[in-house]
Amino acid sequence: VCTQCGCTDIDTDPARGDAVCTGCGSVLEDQIIVSEVQFQENSAGGASVVGQYVSAEGACGKSMNLGGGFHHGIGKESRQITYQNGKRRIQALGSQLKLNQHCIDTAYNFFKMAVNKRLTIGRRSNQVVAACLYIVCRTEGTPR
């Protein structure tokens, strides 16, 4: 149950290691430790380990990814998919608002910055897209 809104619809993602309320977007848990080891195959045919490893020597509460080299490639593929989906949604909403291409490109740059700074985790993508377009409209002085 979400401590913020009381919603019982919680999205738990073992690959990311977090639990997010789908009602309000609050991150309820992060760095969830899994007890089993699973492997997942990427589109290039490589394999990666899903889960997190916590050292017995103590990493001071921090966790490391198991199989870091392989998992790193998966993250880049996932990030590229996130970029593509964000660009598509920004383009669609920007055209509905009749924004010029410069504003749409600037909003996409804000979106990429938000993804790189990990500000999109636990937030709905349509709200992030709307916020990026809103920032551009305000900074460019475009009344929408």
The tens place of each residue's pLDDT in the chain, 144 residues long, gives 888 788 888 887 766 677 888 777 777 776 666 556 667 777 777 776 665 555 444 444 444 444 444 444 455 578 888 899 999 999 999 999 999 999 999 999 999 999 989 899 899 999 999 999 999 999 888 887
Q: Name residues whose C-beta falls within 8 Å of residue 142's C-beta, 6 or more positions apart in sequence.
A: 99, 103, 136
Q: Where are the domains of the chain?
A: 1-32, 33-140
CATH code for the part of the protein at 33-140 = 1.10.472.10
What is the reported pTM?
A: 0.48
**pLDDT, tens only, 30-66:** 666 655 666 777 777 777 666 555 544 444 444 444 4
Q: Name residues whose C-beta falls within 8 Å of residue 106's C-beta, 6 or more positions apart in sequence.
A: 136, 139, 140
Run of H or E including 13: strand 10-13
DSSP secondary structure string for all residues of 51-73: SEE--TT--TT--EETTHHHHHH
